Protein backbone atom coordinates (compact mmCIF):
# COMPACT_ATOMS: atom_id res chain seq x y z
CA UNK A 1 0.00 0.00 0.00
CA UNK A 2 1.49 3.34 -1.15
CA UNK A 3 1.69 6.28 1.30
CA UNK A 4 0.28 9.61 0.13
CA UNK A 5 0.86 13.21 1.33
CA UNK A 6 -1.88 15.77 0.62
CA UNK A 7 -1.26 19.47 1.34
CA UNK A 8 -3.76 22.28 1.73
CA UNK A 9 -3.77 25.77 3.24
CA UNK A 10 -6.34 27.19 5.64
CA UNK A 11 -7.22 30.68 6.97
CA UNK A 12 -6.62 30.07 10.68
CA UNK A 13 -5.44 27.50 13.23
CA UNK A 14 -8.89 26.75 14.69
CA UNK A 15 -10.41 25.71 11.35
CA UNK A 16 -7.28 23.75 10.42
CA UNK A 17 -7.23 21.77 13.66
CA UNK A 18 -11.02 21.18 13.55
CA UNK A 19 -10.81 19.68 10.06
CA UNK A 20 -7.64 17.74 10.92
CA UNK A 21 -9.27 16.20 14.01
CA UNK A 22 -12.44 15.34 12.06
CA UNK A 23 -10.49 13.57 9.27
CA UNK A 24 -8.21 11.66 11.68
CA UNK A 25 -11.33 10.63 13.66
CA UNK A 26 -12.92 9.35 10.39
CA UNK A 27 -9.61 7.46 9.79
CA UNK A 28 -9.20 9.17 6.41
CA UNK A 29 -5.80 10.53 7.53
CA UNK A 30 -3.47 8.89 10.04
CA UNK A 31 -1.67 12.12 10.88
CA UNK A 32 -1.88 15.83 10.02
CA UNK A 33 1.06 18.22 10.54
CA UNK A 34 0.11 21.90 10.74
CA UNK A 35 2.38 24.95 10.57
CA UNK A 36 1.86 28.73 10.42
CA UNK A 37 2.79 30.37 7.11
CA UNK A 38 2.78 33.78 5.48
CA UNK A 39 1.16 33.63 2.05
CA UNK A 40 1.72 36.03 -0.83
CA UNK A 41 -0.71 35.57 -3.73
CA UNK A 42 -2.80 37.49 -6.23
CA UNK A 43 -6.58 37.50 -5.86
CA UNK A 44 -8.88 39.41 -8.20
CA UNK A 45 -5.92 41.38 -9.56
CA UNK A 46 -4.52 42.50 -6.16
CA UNK A 47 -1.42 41.13 -4.36
CA UNK A 48 -2.44 39.75 -0.96
CA UNK A 49 -0.18 39.20 2.05
CA UNK A 50 -2.06 37.00 4.52
CA UNK A 51 -1.20 34.64 7.32
CA UNK A 52 -2.45 31.09 6.79
CA UNK A 53 -1.86 27.56 8.04
CA UNK A 54 -0.33 24.77 5.93
CA UNK A 55 -1.70 21.28 6.69
CA UNK A 56 0.13 18.11 5.61
CA UNK A 57 -2.24 15.10 5.59
CA UNK A 58 -0.71 11.60 5.59
CA UNK A 59 -2.80 8.71 4.33
CA UNK A 60 -2.77 5.72 1.93
CA UNK A 61 -3.44 5.65 -1.80
CA UNK A 62 -6.69 3.77 -1.04
CA UNK A 63 -8.05 6.72 0.99
CA UNK A 64 -6.70 9.52 -1.19
CA UNK A 65 -9.86 10.26 -3.20
CA UNK A 66 -12.23 10.21 -0.20
CA UNK A 67 -9.82 12.36 1.84
CA UNK A 68 -9.58 14.95 -0.95
CA UNK A 69 -13.39 15.08 -1.26
CA UNK A 70 -13.82 15.51 2.48
CA UNK A 71 -11.19 18.32 2.60
CA UNK A 72 -13.05 20.08 -0.23
CA UNK A 73 -16.43 19.61 1.55
CA UNK A 74 -15.18 20.92 4.92
CA UNK A 75 -12.89 23.67 3.54
CA UNK A 76 -13.95 27.33 4.08
CA UNK A 77 -12.36 28.56 0.82
CA UNK A 78 -14.24 28.58 -2.51
CA UNK A 79 -11.02 27.51 -4.28
CA UNK A 80 -8.83 25.60 -1.78
CA UNK A 81 -5.48 24.10 -2.73
CA UNK A 82 -5.56 20.29 -2.50
CA UNK A 83 -2.30 18.93 -3.89
CA UNK A 84 -0.62 15.53 -3.67
CA UNK A 85 3.14 15.49 -3.03
CA UNK A 86 5.01 12.41 -4.20
CA UNK A 87 6.42 10.16 -1.45
CA UNK A 88 9.24 8.03 -2.84
CA UNK A 89 9.58 5.78 0.17
CA UNK A 90 8.51 5.44 3.81
CA UNK A 91 9.98 3.22 6.56
CA UNK A 92 7.89 0.07 6.98
CA UNK A 93 6.98 0.33 10.68
CA UNK A 94 5.58 3.86 10.13
CA UNK A 95 3.77 2.79 6.95
CA UNK A 96 2.23 -0.16 8.83
CA UNK A 97 1.01 2.25 11.53
CA UNK A 98 -0.34 4.58 8.80
CA UNK A 99 -2.29 1.66 7.25
CA UNK A 100 -3.62 0.56 10.68
CA UNK A 101 -4.71 4.13 11.49
CA UNK A 102 -6.79 4.55 8.32
CA UNK A 103 -9.81 2.70 6.87
Round to whole Å and give the CA distance between 80 and 90: 27
24 with 30: CB under 8 angstroms? yes
91 touches a second copy (CB under 8 A): yes
Q: Which of 3, 11, 15, 66 binds a second copy (CB under 8 A)?
A: 3
Alpha carbons within 13 angstroms on the beta-carbon side of residue 35 total 6
Q: Which of 1, 14, 36, 103 binds a second copy (CB under 8 A)?
A: 36
76 touches a second copy (CB under 8 A): no
28 touches a second copy (CB under 8 A): no
9 touches a second copy (CB under 8 A): yes
Residues whose CB falls within 8 Å of the CB of residue 60, separated by 6 or more in sequence, listed in order: 1, 2, 3, 4, 98, 99, 102
Interface contacts to a second copy, rule CB under 8 A: 3, 5, 9, 13, 17, 20-21, 24-25, 27, 30-42, 47, 49, 52, 54, 58, 68, 72, 79-91, 93-94, 97, 101
Amino acid sequence: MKPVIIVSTFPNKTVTKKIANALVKKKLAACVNITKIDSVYSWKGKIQNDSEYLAIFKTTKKNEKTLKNEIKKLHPYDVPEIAEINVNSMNKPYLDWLIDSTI
